[in-house]
């Protein structure tokens, strides 16, 4: 009897051990170490996946990313990838996603054909966090064929709390003139000219009035967009849209766009504009800013955050920049706070060559989770933030480190893995009611430099956005931002050719004799029409209408 009992006990133990082992192996399979390759069309300055936050991601998922990057100016990366058929596991193609879809290089997340031939809706089967993050915006990730091919980039559930405006000016300049009202391009130029005359050198080097960044594709932001901002038009890539008819026009066909470039022509010839604006590299531009001698620039803060921190650490916070709403004429309203809502379009895709599609999807779904979002935004608890009274708080010493260390994000990983991954916006809260991201109104104000707070107080406001026309007073386009649209190859190729031609033409307009400006501008417009950009505008109009219909909006209103 005892032998039978012992035998039964041993058999039961073996059975339980076997079941336990199977369950454990199944549960822990997602944590088995795996490396996925990741290609980004948006060049990284530091692409190693070994900072503290990245290591925490690996510890929680077992996933390490081997990141391959391209230079921002390399528009051939995705076409070459399609030509040779070699695809990384993950691909962030930006505006070239359509090329990958047409080549059947990336999988439909809602209709993946598994190796056994079964069609699996990965979103429904494994995408609990993805569905929660995107919510009703999930439909905006759909391609024109109705399928979803990417985890969408940029914030979901967001409100605009920060802006750099269009043209920036040093705090030192504003202080010298008693914090004057600067509303127009002429106001801005007048202040720069007077300061230049009174201060021909800074730190022993020649003072520069306005220096622009136009290297490679950076001209889109550093030159092209400025022209539409100052006439009250928001960033819609290379297009202007009539929000009544939803008709699109290639923006450089619009005569009002000439205003900004005519103004630059004037500044170029009177010495206010840096003559190297169209030949300098990004590194040269940043080096000039770091010297403290560039009074004005025209680029968003994200493009020079490292140099801003360097100025502070070098004891020149007054040589950092203030953000004011500047337009060509007071009849216009600065469009910086235009709220386009979540627009979809760009995102991270899983390629058909992915070594483990299900594991890759589960990883990306985890990146959508509350746990992951807190990690990538706030960092490591007890190191980068603490929890007090149920709220996450950045300690003063850590906040100072964030303000002054140019390599803060690279060293800590805080904020480094937010873009281009899925991300909650600053209006989202976690299950305990605390903000998922750091960028709340109180945290932004706490993060301002003393010189910023001084400038803002002199203008009678608490935040930079308080100086600008609020989002609620600006029309909200229902079609998203056109620069995120995935264009047909023919249209995209034509757009790239037109853009390259326009860039060189604009430079010629700026540096030419003022008497020749109108002639050169008109020649450019004629050539663009010959290239077919009016027809391209009609194609964009059709795409806008298709997008609205896809999102359940009647284009005819």
- Residue 279: CB atoms within 10 A of its CB come to 11
DSSP element (H, E) containing 539: helix 533-550
> Could you tell me the mean pLDDT of each successive run of 10 residues in the chain, 557 residues long?
41 41 41 92 74 97 89 72 94 91 96 96 98 94 92 93 97 98 98 98 98 97 98 96 95 98 99 98 98 98 95 97 98 96 90 97 98 98 95 93 90 96 94 93 92 98 98 93 86 95 99 98 99 97 92 81
Q: Pairing relation of β-strands 151-152 and 347-350?
A: antiparallel
Distances (CA, A) of 477 to 159, 233, 245, 466, 471: 15, 11, 12, 22, 12
Q: What is the dihedral of CA 177, 178, 183, 184, to 10 degrees?
A: -10
DSSP 246-298: --EEEGGGSGGGHHHHHHHHHHHHHT-B-GGGGT--HHHHHHHHHTT-EEEE-
Structure-token pair, residue 354: 């992915």
- Right CATH for 30-157+344-397+411-437 from 3.40.50.10470, 3.90.1150.10, 3.40.50.1820, 3.40.190.10: 3.40.190.10
Structure-token pair, residue 517: 């400006």
| Rounded CA separation 130/156 (Å) | 11
Within 13 Å, how many C-alpha atoms sit on residue 333's CB side?
Answer: 12
Return the pLDDT at 9: 41
30-157+344-397+411-437 shares its CATH topology with 168-335+487-550: yes
Return the pLDDT at 30: 55
Q: Give the predicted TM-score (pTM) of the model.
A: 0.82
The answer for residues whose C-beta is within 8 angstroms of residue 27's C-beta and 6 or more apart is none
Return the pLDDT at 39: 94
Q: Name the maximum alpha-carbon separation found in the chain.
A: 112
DSSP element (H, E) containing 156: strand 154-156
Q: What percent of the residues of the chain are helix, what percent strand, and what percent coil, each to the nearest 5? A: 50, 15, 35
**For domain 168-335+487-550, is the CATH number 3.20.20.20?**
no
Return the pLDDT at 485: 85
Return the pLDDT at 71: 57
- The domain segmentation of the chain, as residue ranges, is 30-157+344-397+411-437, 168-335+487-550
Q: Which parts of 139-184 fold into alpha helices (H)?
A: 171-176
Instruction: Report helix, strand or coil for 492.
Output: helix
Within 13 Å, how many C-alpha atoms sit on residue 84's CB side?
Answer: 8
Question: Are the CB atoms for 519 and 452 separated by under 8 Å?
Answer: no
Q: Is the peptide bond before 398 cis (omega within 30 degrees of 0)?
A: no
| Dihedrals phi, psi of 296, to nearest 5 degrees | -140, 145
Whose tokens are 């995935």? That residue is 486
Question: Are the CB atoms for 72 and 42 separated by under 8 Å?
Answer: yes
301-316 pLDDT, tens digit each: 999 999 999 999 999 9
The answer for residues whose C-beta is within 8 angstroms of residue 97's C-beta and 6 or more apart is 106, 143, 149, 150, 345, 346, 347, 349, 486
Whose tokens are 């450019």? That residue is 524
Q: Output the CA angle 156-161-165, nearest 5 degrees.
A: 115
Strand boundaries in 28-122, DSSP class E: 34-40, 63-69, 90-92, 112-113, 119-120
Return the pLDDT at 23: 34
Question: Are the CB atoms for 478 and 553 separated by under 8 Å?
Answer: yes
| Rounded CA separation 477/93 (Å) | 25
- Residue 38: CB atoms within 10 A of its CB come to 21
């Amino acid at each position: 009897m005892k032998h039978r009992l012992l035998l039964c006990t041993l058999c039961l133990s073996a059975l339980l051990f076997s079941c336990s082992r199977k369950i454990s192996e199944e549960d822990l399979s997602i944590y088995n170490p795996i490396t996925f390759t990741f290609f980004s069309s948006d060049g990284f300055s530091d692409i190693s996946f070994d900072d503290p936050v990245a290591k925490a991601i690996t510890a929680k998922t077992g996933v390490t990313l081997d990141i391959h990057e391209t230079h921002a100016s390399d528009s051939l990366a995705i076409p070459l990838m399609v030509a040779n058929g070699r695809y990384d596991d993950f691909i962030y193609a930006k505006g070239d996603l359509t090329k990958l879809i047409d080549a059947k290089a990336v999988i439909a997340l809602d209709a993946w054909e598994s190796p056994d031939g079964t069609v699996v809706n990965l979103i429904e089967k494994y995408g609990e966090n993805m569905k929660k993050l995107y919510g009703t915006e999930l439909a905006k990730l759909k391609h024109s064929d109705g399928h979803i091919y990417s985890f969408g980039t940029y914030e979901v559930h967001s409100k605009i709390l920060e802006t750099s405006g269009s043209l920036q000016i040093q705090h030192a300049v504003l202080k010298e003139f008693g914090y004057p009202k600067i509303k127009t391009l002429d106001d801005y130029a007048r202040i720069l000219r007077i300061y230049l005359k009174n201060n021909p050198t800074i730190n022993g080097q020649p003072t520069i009035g306005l220096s622009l960044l136009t290297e490679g594709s950076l001209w889109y932001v550093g030159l092209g967009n400025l022209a539409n901002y100052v006439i009250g038009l928001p960033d819609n890539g290379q297009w202007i849209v009539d929000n009544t008819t939803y008709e699109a026009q290639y923006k450089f066909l619009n005569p009002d766009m000439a205003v900004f470039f005519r103004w630059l022509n004037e500044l170029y010839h009177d010495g206010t504009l840096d003559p190297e604006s169209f030949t300098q590299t990004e590194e040269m531009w940043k080096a000039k800013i770091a010297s403290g001698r560039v009074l004005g620039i025209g680029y968003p803060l994200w493009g020079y955050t490292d140099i801003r921190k360097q100025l502070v650490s070098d004891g020149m916070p007054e040589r950092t920049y203030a953000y004011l709403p500047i337009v060509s004429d007071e009849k216009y309203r600065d469009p910086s706070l235009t709220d386009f809502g979540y627009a979809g379009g760009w995102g991270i895709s899983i390629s058909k060559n992915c070594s483990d599609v299900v594991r890759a999807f589960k990883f990306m779904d985890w990146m959508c989770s509350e746990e992951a979002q807190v990690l990538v935004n706030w960092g490591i608890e007890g190191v980068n933030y603490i929890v007090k009274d149920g709220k996450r708080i950045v300690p003063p010493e850590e906040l100072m480190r964030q303000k002054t260390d140019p390599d803060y994000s690279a060293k800590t990983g805080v904020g480094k893995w937010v873009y281009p991954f899925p991300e909650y916006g600053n209006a989202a809260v976690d299950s305990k009611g605390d903000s998922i991201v750091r960028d709340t109104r109180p945290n932004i104000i706490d993060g301002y430099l003393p010189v910023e707070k001084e400038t803002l107080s002199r203008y009678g406001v608490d935040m930079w956005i308080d100086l600008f026309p609020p989002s609620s007073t600006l029309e909200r386009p229902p079609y998203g931002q056109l620069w995120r649209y995935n264009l047909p190859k023919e249209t995209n190729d034509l757009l790239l050719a037109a853009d390259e031609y326009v860039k060189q033409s604009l430079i010629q307009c700026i540096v030419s004799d003022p008497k020749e400006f109108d002639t050169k501008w008109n020649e450019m417009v004629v050539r663009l029409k010959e290239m077919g950009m009016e027809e391209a505008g009609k194609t964009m109009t059709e795409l806008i209408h298709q997008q609205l219909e896809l999102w359940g909006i009647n284009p005819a209103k």
